[in-house]
Amino acid sequence: MQMYAMNSKAVPAILLTLLLMVVLYYYLTQSRVPTYVIPTGYVFHLETPDHLQYSQPSIVKGRTDVVAVTPWLAPIVWEGTFNPVLLDSIYKQKKISIAVTVFAVGKYIMFLKNFLETAEQHFFVGFNVHVYVFTDRPKEVPKVNMAVGRQLTVRSVPSSKRWQEISARRMELIQKLIEEQLRKNSDYIFCLDVDSKFHDRWGAESLGGLVAVIHPGYYLDDRGKFPYERQSASKAYVAHGEGDFYYCGGAFGGILEEVYLLANTCRSNFEEDAKNGIEAAWQEESHLNRYMWINKPSKVLSPEYLWQDFKPRNPEVKTVRFSGVIKNYADIRPNV
Protein backbone atom coordinates (compact mmCIF):
# COMPACT_ATOMS: atom_id res chain seq x y z
CA MET A 1 0.00 0.00 0.00
CA GLN A 2 2.84 2.35 0.95
CA MET A 3 4.67 1.31 -2.21
CA TYR A 4 1.59 2.20 -4.27
CA ALA A 5 1.40 5.66 -2.64
CA MET A 6 5.05 6.34 -3.51
CA ASN A 7 4.47 5.32 -7.14
CA SER A 8 1.42 7.52 -7.46
CA LYS A 9 3.59 10.56 -6.51
CA ALA A 10 6.52 9.50 -8.68
CA VAL A 11 4.55 9.07 -11.91
CA PRO A 12 3.54 12.74 -12.34
CA ALA A 13 7.08 13.81 -11.41
CA ILE A 14 8.57 11.51 -14.05
CA LEU A 15 6.05 12.72 -16.62
CA LEU A 16 6.85 16.35 -15.80
CA THR A 17 10.58 15.68 -16.09
CA LEU A 18 10.03 14.00 -19.47
CA LEU A 19 7.95 16.94 -20.66
CA LEU A 20 10.61 19.40 -19.55
CA MET A 21 13.26 17.37 -21.36
CA VAL A 22 11.19 17.39 -24.58
CA VAL A 23 10.68 21.16 -24.29
CA LEU A 24 14.41 21.66 -23.61
CA TYR A 25 15.36 19.46 -26.57
CA TYR A 26 12.94 21.34 -28.83
CA TYR A 27 14.30 24.70 -27.60
CA LEU A 28 17.92 23.71 -28.16
CA THR A 29 17.42 22.25 -31.64
CA GLN A 30 15.11 24.92 -33.07
CA SER A 31 15.89 28.52 -34.08
CA ARG A 32 15.98 30.76 -30.99
CA VAL A 33 13.88 33.41 -32.72
CA PRO A 34 10.39 32.44 -33.81
CA THR A 35 9.88 33.11 -37.54
CA TYR A 36 7.19 35.69 -36.91
CA VAL A 37 9.82 37.88 -35.20
CA ILE A 38 12.00 37.98 -38.36
CA PRO A 39 10.65 40.24 -41.07
CA THR A 40 11.39 38.07 -44.10
CA GLY A 41 11.73 41.08 -46.44
CA TYR A 42 15.06 42.06 -44.87
CA VAL A 43 17.64 39.66 -46.15
CA PHE A 44 21.20 40.96 -46.33
CA HIS A 45 23.13 38.08 -47.84
CA LEU A 46 23.80 38.25 -51.56
CA GLU A 47 22.94 35.12 -53.49
CA THR A 48 25.11 34.06 -56.43
CA PRO A 49 24.27 31.47 -59.06
CA ASP A 50 26.00 28.18 -58.25
CA HIS A 51 29.25 27.49 -60.18
CA LEU A 52 29.64 31.13 -61.27
CA GLN A 53 33.21 31.57 -62.52
CA TYR A 54 35.08 34.74 -61.63
CA SER A 55 38.56 35.73 -60.52
CA GLN A 56 39.57 34.94 -56.95
CA PRO A 57 39.18 37.89 -54.57
CA SER A 58 42.08 38.99 -52.39
CA ILE A 59 42.26 40.96 -49.18
CA VAL A 60 45.90 41.97 -49.64
CA LYS A 61 46.07 42.86 -53.33
CA GLY A 62 44.02 45.63 -54.83
CA ARG A 63 44.04 49.37 -55.45
CA THR A 64 46.59 51.13 -53.27
CA ASP A 65 46.28 54.62 -54.77
CA VAL A 66 42.77 55.34 -53.50
CA VAL A 67 40.73 54.80 -50.34
CA ALA A 68 37.89 52.35 -50.94
CA VAL A 69 36.06 52.60 -47.62
CA THR A 70 34.80 55.52 -45.52
CA PRO A 71 35.53 55.83 -41.79
CA TRP A 72 31.96 54.61 -41.17
CA LEU A 73 32.73 51.55 -43.31
CA ALA A 74 30.72 52.35 -46.41
CA PRO A 75 32.36 51.19 -49.65
CA ILE A 76 33.77 53.89 -51.94
CA VAL A 77 33.36 52.54 -55.45
CA TRP A 78 36.34 52.92 -57.78
CA GLU A 79 37.30 50.99 -60.90
CA GLY A 80 39.16 47.88 -59.73
CA THR A 81 37.34 47.55 -56.40
CA PHE A 82 34.44 45.40 -57.66
CA ASN A 83 33.75 42.54 -60.01
CA PRO A 84 31.06 43.49 -62.57
CA VAL A 85 30.37 39.88 -63.60
CA LEU A 86 29.75 38.86 -60.02
CA LEU A 87 27.57 41.88 -59.24
CA ASP A 88 25.47 41.52 -62.36
CA SER A 89 24.89 37.83 -61.62
CA ILE A 90 23.75 38.63 -58.11
CA TYR A 91 21.40 41.47 -58.99
CA LYS A 92 20.00 40.19 -62.31
CA GLN A 93 18.42 37.20 -60.63
CA LYS A 94 16.75 39.52 -58.11
CA LYS A 95 14.82 41.10 -61.05
CA ILE A 96 15.20 44.56 -59.58
CA SER A 97 13.77 47.67 -61.15
CA ILE A 98 15.61 50.98 -61.26
CA ALA A 99 13.94 54.37 -61.68
CA VAL A 100 15.87 57.37 -62.98
CA THR A 101 14.77 60.98 -62.73
CA VAL A 102 16.09 63.58 -65.09
CA PHE A 103 14.91 67.17 -65.43
CA ALA A 104 15.05 68.93 -68.80
CA VAL A 105 13.37 72.27 -68.27
CA GLY A 106 13.65 75.11 -70.80
CA LYS A 107 16.70 74.94 -73.01
CA TYR A 108 18.14 72.01 -71.03
CA ILE A 109 15.98 69.81 -73.27
CA MET A 110 18.89 69.98 -75.74
CA PHE A 111 20.93 67.67 -73.49
CA LEU A 112 18.31 64.96 -73.21
CA LYS A 113 19.02 63.01 -76.41
CA ASN A 114 22.66 62.46 -75.58
CA PHE A 115 21.80 61.57 -71.98
CA LEU A 116 19.20 58.97 -73.03
CA GLU A 117 21.24 57.46 -75.85
CA THR A 118 24.35 57.01 -73.74
CA ALA A 119 22.24 55.66 -70.84
CA GLU A 120 21.11 52.90 -73.22
CA GLN A 121 24.73 51.97 -73.82
CA HIS A 122 26.07 52.13 -70.27
CA PHE A 123 23.49 52.56 -67.50
CA PHE A 124 22.31 49.27 -65.96
CA VAL A 125 22.44 47.44 -69.28
CA GLY A 126 20.28 44.31 -69.12
CA PHE A 127 18.23 45.55 -66.15
CA ASN A 128 14.71 46.96 -65.86
CA VAL A 129 15.13 50.71 -66.06
CA HIS A 130 12.37 53.31 -66.07
CA VAL A 131 13.44 56.85 -66.94
CA TYR A 132 11.17 59.67 -65.77
CA VAL A 133 11.75 62.86 -67.76
CA PHE A 134 10.45 66.04 -66.14
CA THR A 135 10.05 68.81 -68.68
CA ASP A 136 8.02 71.84 -69.68
CA ARG A 137 8.55 70.84 -73.35
CA PRO A 138 7.05 67.35 -73.64
CA LYS A 139 6.77 67.61 -77.44
CA GLU A 140 10.53 68.05 -77.72
CA VAL A 141 11.41 64.85 -75.87
CA PRO A 142 13.49 62.90 -78.42
CA LYS A 143 12.52 59.42 -79.55
CA VAL A 144 15.26 57.08 -78.44
CA ASN A 145 15.23 53.34 -79.07
CA MET A 146 15.18 51.56 -75.75
CA ALA A 147 16.02 47.92 -75.10
CA VAL A 148 13.48 45.42 -73.79
CA GLY A 149 12.76 46.06 -70.11
CA ARG A 150 13.54 49.77 -70.40
CA GLN A 151 10.98 52.53 -70.72
CA LEU A 152 10.51 56.27 -70.52
CA THR A 153 7.72 58.36 -69.03
CA VAL A 154 7.36 62.10 -69.53
CA ARG A 155 6.03 64.25 -66.68
CA SER A 156 5.07 67.85 -67.39
CA VAL A 157 6.39 70.50 -65.04
CA PRO A 158 6.07 74.28 -65.18
CA SER A 159 8.99 76.33 -66.46
CA SER A 160 10.62 78.91 -64.26
CA LYS A 161 12.42 82.19 -64.67
CA ARG A 162 15.16 81.14 -62.25
CA TRP A 163 17.48 78.16 -62.82
CA GLN A 164 18.04 77.95 -59.07
CA GLU A 165 14.34 77.24 -58.58
CA ILE A 166 14.29 74.58 -61.32
CA SER A 167 17.27 72.84 -59.78
CA ALA A 168 15.97 73.07 -56.22
CA ARG A 169 12.36 72.07 -56.98
CA ARG A 170 13.64 68.69 -58.11
CA MET A 171 13.57 67.43 -54.52
CA GLU A 172 9.85 68.14 -54.18
CA LEU A 173 9.06 66.49 -57.51
CA ILE A 174 11.21 63.45 -56.73
CA GLN A 175 9.40 63.09 -53.42
CA LYS A 176 6.02 63.24 -55.21
CA LEU A 177 7.10 60.75 -57.85
CA ILE A 178 8.11 58.25 -55.19
CA GLU A 179 4.82 58.75 -53.34
CA GLU A 180 2.56 58.60 -56.37
CA GLN A 181 4.26 56.19 -58.72
CA LEU A 182 7.41 54.41 -57.70
CA ARG A 183 6.28 52.64 -54.54
CA LYS A 184 4.36 50.31 -56.83
CA ASN A 185 7.03 49.45 -59.36
CA SER A 186 10.63 50.30 -58.42
CA ASP A 187 13.29 49.11 -55.99
CA TYR A 188 15.98 51.74 -56.48
CA ILE A 189 16.09 55.30 -57.78
CA PHE A 190 18.88 57.46 -59.18
CA CYS A 191 18.43 61.21 -59.67
CA LEU A 192 20.73 62.60 -62.33
CA ASP A 193 21.57 65.92 -64.03
CA VAL A 194 20.55 66.05 -67.69
CA ASP A 195 23.52 68.05 -68.94
CA SER A 196 25.61 64.92 -68.68
CA LYS A 197 26.37 61.74 -70.55
CA PHE A 198 27.52 58.20 -69.87
CA HIS A 199 30.86 56.94 -71.18
CA ASP A 200 31.36 53.65 -69.36
CA ARG A 201 29.53 51.14 -67.18
CA TRP A 202 27.31 52.44 -64.38
CA GLY A 203 25.73 49.31 -62.97
CA ALA A 204 24.87 47.15 -59.97
CA GLU A 205 28.06 48.18 -58.12
CA SER A 206 26.31 51.51 -57.46
CA LEU A 207 23.32 49.99 -55.67
CA GLY A 208 22.91 50.72 -52.00
CA GLY A 209 20.64 52.07 -49.29
CA LEU A 210 21.65 55.73 -49.57
CA VAL A 211 24.10 56.46 -52.38
CA ALA A 212 26.10 59.66 -52.80
CA VAL A 213 28.65 60.67 -55.44
CA ILE A 214 31.80 62.55 -54.52
CA HIS A 215 32.09 65.83 -56.43
CA PRO A 216 35.04 65.81 -58.85
CA GLY A 217 35.96 69.40 -58.07
CA TYR A 218 36.84 69.12 -54.38
CA TYR A 219 37.96 65.63 -53.44
CA LEU A 220 41.61 66.61 -53.17
CA ASP A 221 40.85 69.69 -51.06
CA ASP A 222 40.80 70.34 -47.36
CA ARG A 223 37.18 70.39 -46.12
CA GLY A 224 37.55 74.05 -45.17
CA LYS A 225 37.45 74.75 -48.92
CA PHE A 226 34.27 72.80 -49.61
CA PRO A 227 31.48 75.10 -50.82
CA TYR A 228 29.08 74.08 -48.03
CA GLU A 229 26.49 76.61 -46.89
CA ARG A 230 28.28 78.67 -44.23
CA GLN A 231 25.49 80.91 -42.91
CA SER A 232 24.55 79.47 -39.53
CA ALA A 233 20.94 80.63 -40.00
CA SER A 234 20.49 78.26 -42.94
CA LYS A 235 19.16 74.73 -42.49
CA ALA A 236 21.94 73.64 -44.86
CA TYR A 237 24.68 75.01 -42.58
CA VAL A 238 27.84 72.99 -42.14
CA ALA A 239 30.38 74.54 -39.77
CA HIS A 240 34.08 74.90 -40.54
CA GLY A 241 35.95 71.80 -39.43
CA GLU A 242 32.90 69.63 -40.13
CA GLY A 243 31.83 67.54 -43.13
CA ASP A 244 33.23 64.36 -44.68
CA PHE A 245 33.27 64.86 -48.44
CA TYR A 246 31.64 67.29 -50.83
CA TYR A 247 28.93 65.41 -52.69
CA CYS A 248 27.30 66.22 -56.05
CA GLY A 249 23.75 67.47 -56.36
CA GLY A 250 23.84 66.07 -59.89
CA ALA A 251 23.78 62.38 -58.96
CA PHE A 252 22.44 60.56 -55.92
CA GLY A 253 20.18 57.62 -55.26
CA GLY A 254 19.46 54.48 -53.29
CA ILE A 255 16.42 52.54 -52.21
CA LEU A 256 13.11 54.38 -52.41
CA GLU A 257 12.67 54.83 -48.66
CA GLU A 258 16.07 56.47 -48.24
CA VAL A 259 15.74 58.79 -51.22
CA TYR A 260 12.25 59.71 -50.08
CA LEU A 261 13.60 60.73 -46.66
CA LEU A 262 16.43 62.70 -48.26
CA ALA A 263 14.15 64.51 -50.74
CA ASN A 264 11.56 65.26 -48.08
CA THR A 265 14.11 66.67 -45.63
CA CYS A 266 15.94 68.73 -48.26
CA ARG A 267 12.67 70.10 -49.61
CA SER A 268 11.33 71.13 -46.20
CA ASN A 269 14.68 72.64 -45.15
CA PHE A 270 14.87 74.51 -48.45
CA GLU A 271 11.35 75.87 -47.89
CA GLU A 272 12.12 76.88 -44.33
CA ASP A 273 15.19 78.76 -45.54
CA ALA A 274 13.08 80.47 -48.21
CA LYS A 275 10.61 81.65 -45.53
CA ASN A 276 13.57 83.27 -43.78
CA GLY A 277 14.83 84.85 -46.98
CA ILE A 278 17.78 82.45 -47.31
CA GLU A 279 18.89 80.53 -50.39
CA ALA A 280 21.77 78.17 -49.67
CA ALA A 281 24.98 78.66 -51.65
CA TRP A 282 24.31 75.70 -53.98
CA GLN A 283 20.57 75.30 -53.51
CA GLU A 284 19.54 71.67 -53.04
CA GLU A 285 23.15 70.51 -53.36
CA SER A 286 23.92 72.39 -50.12
CA HIS A 287 20.94 70.78 -48.39
CA LEU A 288 21.98 67.37 -49.70
CA ASN A 289 25.47 67.87 -48.29
CA ARG A 290 24.10 68.83 -44.91
CA TYR A 291 21.81 65.76 -44.99
CA MET A 292 24.66 63.40 -45.90
CA TRP A 293 26.83 64.79 -43.10
CA ILE A 294 24.26 63.70 -40.55
CA ASN A 295 22.82 60.72 -42.43
CA LYS A 296 25.93 59.03 -43.79
CA PRO A 297 25.53 57.36 -47.17
CA SER A 298 25.80 53.58 -47.09
CA LYS A 299 27.58 53.58 -50.44
CA VAL A 300 29.79 56.31 -51.85
CA LEU A 301 30.59 56.53 -55.56
CA SER A 302 33.96 57.94 -56.56
CA PRO A 303 34.18 60.91 -58.96
CA GLU A 304 34.26 58.36 -61.82
CA TYR A 305 30.47 58.56 -61.46
CA LEU A 306 30.26 62.28 -62.16
CA TRP A 307 33.29 63.86 -63.74
CA GLN A 308 33.31 67.20 -65.54
CA ASP A 309 34.30 67.30 -69.20
CA PHE A 310 36.30 70.49 -68.77
CA LYS A 311 38.55 68.85 -66.15
CA PRO A 312 41.56 66.80 -67.26
CA ARG A 313 41.32 63.31 -65.79
CA ASN A 314 43.42 62.72 -62.66
CA PRO A 315 45.62 59.56 -62.60
CA GLU A 316 43.52 57.81 -59.93
CA VAL A 317 40.44 58.16 -62.15
CA LYS A 318 40.94 55.08 -64.32
CA THR A 319 37.64 55.55 -66.12
CA VAL A 320 34.99 58.21 -66.42
CA ARG A 321 31.55 56.63 -66.33
CA PHE A 322 29.34 59.70 -66.33
CA SER A 323 30.30 63.34 -66.81
CA GLY A 324 28.84 66.80 -67.03
CA VAL A 325 29.17 68.23 -70.54
CA ILE A 326 30.67 71.65 -71.19
CA LYS A 327 27.90 74.22 -71.38
CA ASN A 328 27.54 77.92 -71.88
CA TYR A 329 25.51 78.99 -68.86
CA ALA A 330 24.54 82.36 -70.39
CA ASP A 331 23.02 80.58 -73.42
CA ILE A 332 21.00 77.90 -71.67
CA ARG A 333 19.84 79.23 -68.32
CA PRO A 334 16.76 81.45 -68.01
CA ASN A 335 18.70 83.83 -65.73
CA VAL A 336 22.36 84.42 -64.92
* Interaction site with ligand UD2 (CB under 6 A): 103-106, 108, 163, 166-167, 193-195, 248-250, 282-285, 306, 324, 333-334
Report in angstroms the alpha-carbon separations of 328 from 104, 168, 315, 332: 16, 20, 27, 7
For residues 195-212, one letter each, b for 16 or more C-beta atoms within 10 angstroms of the residue's C-beta and e for the rest, the string is bbbbbbbbbbbbbbebbb
- Least spacing, CB of residue 285 vs ligand UD2, in Å: 3
C-beta of 115 vs 127, nearer to ligand UD2: 115
Closest C-alpha among 221, 201, 206 to residue 77: 206
Nearest residue relative to ligand UD2 (C-beta): 249
Closest C-alpha among 79, 67, 73 to residue 307: 79
Choose the catalytic residue: 205, 258, 284, 285. Answer: 285
- Least spacing, CB of residue 251 vs ligand UD2, in Å: 7
- Least spacing, CB of residue 318 vs ligand UD2, in Å: 20
C-beta of 86 vs 194, nearer to ligand UD2: 194
- Least spacing, CB of residue 51 vs ligand UD2, in Å: 42
How far is residue 306's CA from residue 196's CA, in Å, rounded to a whole number?
8
Instruction: List Cβ neighbours of 300 (8 Å cut-off, separation of 6 or more).
Output: 70, 74, 75, 76, 77, 211, 212, 213, 214, 245
- The pairing of strands 322-324 and 196-198 is antiparallel
Active site residue 229: no
C-beta of 91 vs 190, nearer to ligand UD2: 190
C-beta of 109 vs 182, nearer to ligand UD2: 109
Return the active site residues: 285
